[in-house]
Amino acid sequence: MAKHRGRGFSTIEYPTGMNQNGDPTQAWIKLKPDGSVDVFAGTVDIGQGSKTVHTQIVADALGVPYASVTMDNSNTDSSSICTGTFASRGTFIGGNAVRLAAEKVRERILDIAAKELEISPDDLEIADGEVLAKGAPERRISVGDVAAAATWSYGELISGHGTALKPLAEVDDDDGSVTIEPHSAISYAACVIDVEVDDETGETTVLRMLQVYDVGRAINPTLVEGQIEGGAMMGLGLGLLENSYPYYPSVEHRGEQFGSYLAPSLEDFPVIENVILENPSVDGPFGAKAIGEMANNAQPPAIAAAIHDAVGVWVTEMPATPERVLRALEEKERREPRREGKRVIFDEEISVAAVSTNGGEAYWGVHG
């Protein structure tokens, strides 16, 4: 009886935006008379930090201080449509909507500044809340003074709106093919997990998670790390702990309290190392792709592979509970793959062919 260490790997990809697209986010922006920026978008912040990220994008797209931007996503009367906070679409699609709205506002600021400074708008730029003549920064006017001029002299509400929408990608039902990209971008990640498996209790402890994520561009590295580490814990729950139906497919013995449902907690938190790569997307806001959902996908297969590396058994029904690991160890010989010619057949006992009364004809019998 001993504890054994093992290492497992995985490499994954994950799409940004709803599969097959067709999921708009719209945003609009107005300036108050002192140059304060009000952003309205319907993107719900579920705790991932989209309000922060959108505010950062608007601040830089306009060239104004972050602190001068207010983000309102509080209701459907003032906000335009956002299809929703899912499908890892907040930063890319929501971010593009607010970026495009900000670019329209920027054009209006430059037009009015051009009148005030008597310089062509093409020769102006905005930085830190000041509109400056390119090459002659002493000729300047603040965004606040531009907004005041718009309000009191020109009778204009400086505003702009933006829509991010990629058209629906139709899928061919016969072969699954598409003719336009069915996503906005793809993010990539690799994961290395070290575990220790106790062959007496069957318990697996994750010692270390090393994860590399290409997110295109980290708009806010702290929030990206928050997603990576929060996702890692959910991935650990998927790999080792959580199960709505402990005896699936039976519906009995479901956990109905925190005390009877095993979600990961701080005591399960291993050493986590994050590497963020930035391979910018061609059309995301400032090159961003996505990080949200994919952050819990890489760990379960790496954990299961690490268990095999440690004790030589494959657990392919999730989660890899102590009971499952122990059973796999006990039945190690019986579970060796069956070899038939060049076929190496694992897991036959749990296959459709074995469990169905007619070999799974309804599923495996598909023609065409």
Partner 1 sequence: MKAVGARLPRYDGLAHITGRTQYVDDVRIHGTLWTKALRSPHHHAAVRSIDTSRAEALPGVHAVVTAQDVPRNVYGHLEALGVPADEPLLAEGDVRWKGQVIAAVAAESEEIALAAVDAIDVEFEEREAVFDIRRAADPDAPTFHQWGPVYPHFGPHNHRRVRKGDVDRAFDEADVIVEGVYRPQAIEHVPMETQVALAVPEASGRLTIYSCTQAMYFSMGVVAAHLQWPLSKLKFVGGTVGGGFGGKVDTATETICALLAIKSRRPVKWRFTREEEFLVSSTRAPWHIELRDAVTTDGWILGRRTLTLHDAGAYARFSPYGVTKHAFHHTGAYTIPNVRFDGFVVFTNRVPTTAMRGFGVTSVSLAVELHLSRVADVLGMDPLELRLKNANRVGDTTGNRVVLHDPSTVAVTLAAAEAAGHEVGEEYRSMTSDRRTGDLLPEHLVEQQAPEGAHMATFDPTLTNGGGH
Active site (catalytic) residues: 293
* Nearest distance in Å: CB 281, partner 1: 7
Give yes or no for a contact between 34 and 144, defined as CB atoms under 8 angstroms apart.
yes
How many residues bind partner 1 (CB under 8 A)? The answer is 159
Start-to-end C-alpha separation, the chain: 52
Choices 7-15, 114-122, 137-145, 197-205; region in contact with partner 1 by CB under 8 A: 7-15
The interface with partner 1 within residues 238-267 (CB under 8 A) comprises 238, 242-245, 248-251, 254-258, 261, 263
* Nearest distance in Å: CB 52, partner 1: 4
Q: Toward partner 1, which CB reaches closer, 170 or 330?
A: 170
CA-CA distance, 94 to 142, in Å (whole number)?
28
Identify the CA nearest to 291 among candidates 100, 87, 59: 87
Choices 112-120, 138-146, 161-169, 197-205; region in contact with partner 1 by CB under 8 A: 161-169
CA-CA distance, 134 to 183, in Å (whole number)?
38
HSE of 303, CA atoms in CB hemisphere, 13 A: 32
What are the backbone dihedrals phi and psi of residue 170, each rounded to the nearest 5 degrees, phi first? -70, 145
CA-CA distance, 14 to 89, in Å (whole number)?
12
Binding mask 81-110 for partner 1 (x = CB under 8 A): xxxxxxx--------x---xx-xxx-xx--
Q: Is 40 in the site for partner 1 (CB under 8 A)?
A: no
Q: Is 156 in the site for partner 1 (CB under 8 A)?
A: yes
The SS3 call for residue 343 is strand
Q: Toward partner 1, which CB reaches closer, 136 or 180?
A: 180
* Nearest distance in Å: CB 62, partner 1: 10
CA-CA distance, 168 to 126, in Å (whole number)?
36
The interface with partner 1 within residues 54-83 (CB under 8 A) comprises 55-57, 59-60, 65-66, 71, 73-77, 79, 81-83
Return the residue matching tokens 């907690």. 265
CA-CA distance, 222 to 325, in Å (whole number)?
36
Q: Is 135 in the site for partner 1 (CB under 8 A)?
A: no
Q: Toward partner 1, which CB reaches closer, 105 or 325?
A: 105
Identify the CA nearest to 321 among candidates 193, 201, 215, 226: 201
Q: Toward partner 1, which CB reaches closer, 35 or 237?
A: 237
Among 162, 197, 290, 328, indicate the residue that binds partner 1 (CB under 8 A).
162
